[in-house]
C-alpha cells in the first residue's frame, strides 16, 4: 500500500483539514491535533511535515499511550552510560534524531505532570539534557502533538499543566470523526481496496450489499476501523468480490453504535422541545 501520507475524502471537514495543513506547513509553530482514535492525526502530522521546509529531514514519532515514565524519558531525552541500572551504553535521544526535522508527540495527554514539566522546558528553550549528563544540547525541532482526550477538562481537573496547554495550543485543529463525514466512506473503501490489490497482486471489488452495510455503520474506530474491516474481508473472501458476509463488525463497535444512536435520539428530542418552546413563546407574545 502507498506509504505516502494522503488524506482521502471530499467532505467539508476534510477540505478544512487540507487548508489547515497547507497553512501550518508554512510555519514552524507548534501544532496540536485533536480527535478520536483512528481519525488520521498521524497522517495529518506527516502531511504537515512533508509539505514543510523540513521535509528532507527526519520525522520522529513517540506514542505515550502504553509507555512508562521511565521509558518515555529515556527515549525522549536519551541517557548517559551508568545513568541508571541497565544503561550500559550512551543512548542518543529521539529529540536528537529529530534535529532539523519534526517531532510528533502522540497521546500527549497520557504523560505525567513530571514529564509535562520537562517537556514544557524543551518546547520553550529548544534544549535538553540526556539522563545522567550535565551537558545541555540545543535542538532545532518542529513539534506536532496529538491527543484523543479533552485537554481543557484535564487542565480543569489538574491532570494537565495549564502552562503546557497554552504553550502547545498555538495552531490547533479538531479532526472530525468518520461518522460526521459519511460522504468520504466510499472513497476510503476504494482507496483501501486498491492498496490491498497492489499488495496482493489481485483485483478486488465490493458488492452493493457489503457497501450498504459499511455505509450504515457508525465507525467508532474511524478510518482505522474501516481499513481493518476491509483488510479482514479481503483475507477471508472466497473470491475477488467482497460480500456482505465478509464485512465483520465487532461487538464493541456495535455497542458504540447504539451509544451514538442514543445520543443522536436525545439531541433530536431536545431540539424538538426547544423549537416547541420558541413557538409557544411567540404565541404568548401575540
* Set of cell numbers at residue 275: 423549537
Residue 210 cell numbers, joined: 457489503
pLDDT given for residue 2 in this prediction: 44
Q: Give the CATH number of domain 179-246.
A: 1.10.8.60
Domain ranges of the chain: 12-176, 179-246
What's the Cα-to-Cα distance from 211 to each of 11, 229, 232, 244, 252, rounded to whole Å?
18, 12, 15, 8, 20
In the predicted model, is pLDDT for residue 187 greater than 80?
yes
**What pLDDT is recorded for position 157?**
95
Give the per-residue pLDDT at 277.
58
Query: Residue 15: CA atoms inside 13 Å, Cβ hemisphere, count?
Result: 4
Residue reference for cell 465490493: 206
Q: Do domains 12-176 and 179-246 have the same CATH topology?
A: no
Confidence grade of residue 175 (pLDDT, cut at 50, 70, 90): very high
Task: Please check whether residue 151 is in contact with residue 165, taking contact to mean a CB–CB distance below 8 angstroms.
Answer: yes
Residue-wise pLDDT tens digits, 126-142: 999 888 888 899 999 99
Rg (CA), the chain: 23
The predicted model gives 88-98 an average pLDDT of: 87
Question: Using 50, 70 and 90 to split pLDDT, how confident is the model at 260?
Answer: very low
Which residue's entry shows cell 499543566?
161
Q: Is the pLDDT of residue 276 over 60?
A: no
Considering the chain, what is the average pLDDT of its residues? Answer: 86
Contact, 49 vs 143, CB < 8 A?
A: no
Q: Is the dihedral of CA 146, 148, 153, 159 positive or negative?
A: negative
**CATH architecture for segment(s) 12-176:** 3-Layer(aba) Sandwich (3.40)
Mean pLDDT across 121-130: 92
Torsion of CA 174, 178, 181, 185, to 10 degrees: 140
pLDDT at position 69: 83
Amino acid at each position: 500500500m502507498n506509504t505516502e501520507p494522503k488524506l482521502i475524502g471530499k467532505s467539508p471537514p476534510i477540505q478544512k483539514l487540507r487548508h489547515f495543513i497547507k497553512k501550518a506547513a508554512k510555519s514552524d509553530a507548534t501544532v496540536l491535533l485533536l480527535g478520536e482514535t483512528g481519525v488520521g492525526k498521524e497522517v495529518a502530522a506527516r502531511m504537515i511535515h512533508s509539505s514543510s521546509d523540513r521535509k528532507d529531514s527526519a520525522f520522529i514519532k513517540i506514542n505515550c499511550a502504553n509507555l512508562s515514565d521511565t521509558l518515555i524519558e529515556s527515549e525522549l531525552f536519551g541517557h548517559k552510560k551508568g545513568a541508571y541500572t541497565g544503561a550500559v551504553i550512551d543512548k542518543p535521544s529521539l529529540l536528537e534524531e529529530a534535529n532539523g526535522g519534526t517531532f510528533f508527540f502522540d497521546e500527549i495527554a497520557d504523560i505525567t505532570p513530571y514529564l509535562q514539566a520537562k517537556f514544557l522546558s524543551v518546547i520553550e528553550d529548544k534544549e535538553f539534557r540526556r539522563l545522567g549528563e550535565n551537558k545541555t544540547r540545543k535542538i532545532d525541532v518542529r513539534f506536532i502533538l496529538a491527543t484523543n482526550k479533552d485537554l481543557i477538562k484535564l487542565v480543569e481537573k489538574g491532570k494537565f499543566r495549564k502552562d503546557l496547554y497554552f504553550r502547545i495550543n498555538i495552531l490547533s485543529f479538531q479532526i472530525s470523526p468518520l461518522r460526521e463525514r459519511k460522504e468520504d466512506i466510499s472513497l476510503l473503501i476504494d482507496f483501501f481496496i486498491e492498496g490491498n490489490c497492489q499488495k496482493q497482486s489481485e483485483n478486488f471489488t465490493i458488492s452493493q450489499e457489503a457497501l450498504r452495510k459499511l455505509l450504515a455503520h457508525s465507525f467508532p474506530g474511524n478510518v482505522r476501523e474501516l481499513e481493518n474491516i476491509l483488510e479482514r474481508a479481503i483475507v477471508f473472501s472466497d473470491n475477488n468480490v467482497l460480500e456482505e458476509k465478509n464485512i465483520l463488525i465487532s461487538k464493541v463497535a456495535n455497542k458504540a453504535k447504539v451509544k451514538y444512536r442514543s445520543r443522536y435520539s436525545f439531541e433530536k428530542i431536545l431540539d424538538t422541545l426547544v423549537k416547541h418552546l420558541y413557538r409557544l413563546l411567540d404565541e404568548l407574545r401575540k
